[in-house]
Amino acid sequence: MENKLKKQEFRSVRNRILVFSILVTLLPSFGMGWFWFNMTRRVTTEKIEQKLVDSVGIAEREINLWFKERNYELRVFANSFVVRENLSKYRTAIESEDRKNEKQTASHLRKIGTYLTLVRNEFKVYRRLLVLDNEMRIIAASDTSDKSRPVVLPHNWKSQLDRSRFFSGDTYFIEEEFSPLVLIGIPLLLEQNSTQLGFFVMEVRLQGLLPLLMASLPKTERELGAAVMILLGKNGRHILSTAWPENHKETAVASPQVLNLLNSQLHLQGFVNDRKVRVVGLASSFDDLPWDLVIAENHDNVFAGLIQARNQIVLITILLTIIIGGAATIVASQFIIPLKALTKAVLRVAGGDLDVSVNIRRNDELGIVTGMFNEMVRRLKESQVKLEQLALTDPLTGLANRKKIMADVASNFERYLRYSTEFSILMIDIDHFKMVNDSHGHQAGDAVLIQVARIFRETLRGLDSAGRYGGEEFLIVLGKTDTHMALQIAERIRQMVDRHAFVCEDVSLHVTISVGVSGITSQDHAGVSLIGRADKALYEAKAAGRNRIVSSLDESPVPSPVGQDSL
Q: How far is CA 493 from the centre of its chain?
A: 63
User: Hey, how many other C-beta atoms are within 10 angstroms of the C-beta on 352?
Assistant: 7
- Residue positions annotated with a catalytic role: 472
Neighbours of 320 (CB within 10 A): 15
Beta-bridge partner residues of 293: 231, 284
Answer for the pair 108, 90: CB distance below 8 angstroms, yes or no: yes
For the chain, how many residues are written? 567
Cα separation, 58 vs 48, whole angstroms: 15
Residues 6+ apart with CB under 8 A from 383: none
Tell which residue, 60, 66, 48, 68, has the closest CA to residue 294. Answer: 60
Q: Which residues lie across from 478 on neighbouring strands?
A: 424
DSSP string computed for 100-137: GGHHHHHHHHHHHHHHHHHHHHH-TTEEEEEEE-TTS-
- The alpha-helical segments, DSSP class H, found in 355-441 are 365-392, 402-419, 433-440
Counts of helices then strands in the chain (DSSP H, E): 16, 17
C-alpha 515 chain-centroid distance: 59
CA 52 to each of CA 49, 380, 534: distance values in angstroms, whole numbers, following the listed order: 5, 74, 89
Comparing CA positions, the residue from 557, 536, 545, 523 lying closest to residue 425 is 536
Percentages helix, strand, coil for the chain (3-state, rounded to 5) are 55, 20, 25
Distance, in Å, from the CA atom of 535 to the CA atom of 538, rounded to the nearest integer, reads: 5
Distance of CA 490 to the CA centre of its chain: 60
Sheet of strand 167-168, all strands in order from the earlier edge strand to the far edge: 138-141, 126-132, 196-205, 181-189, 167-168
Are 140 and 165 in contact by the 8 Å Cβ rule? The answer is: no
Query: Pick from 288, 277, 218: which is nearest to 56 by CA?
Result: 218
For residue 299, give Cα distances in angstroms to 95, 178, 423: 66, 31, 73
Question: Phi and psi of 94, rounded to 5°?
Answer: -65, -40
Rounded CA-CA distance 417/388 in Å is 28
What are the helix (H) ranges across 500-544?
Answer: 527-543
Q: d(Cα 378, Cα 358) in Å, to the nearest integer?
A: 12
What is the distance, to the nearest Å, from the Cα of residue 300 to the centroid of all Cα atoms in its chain?
28
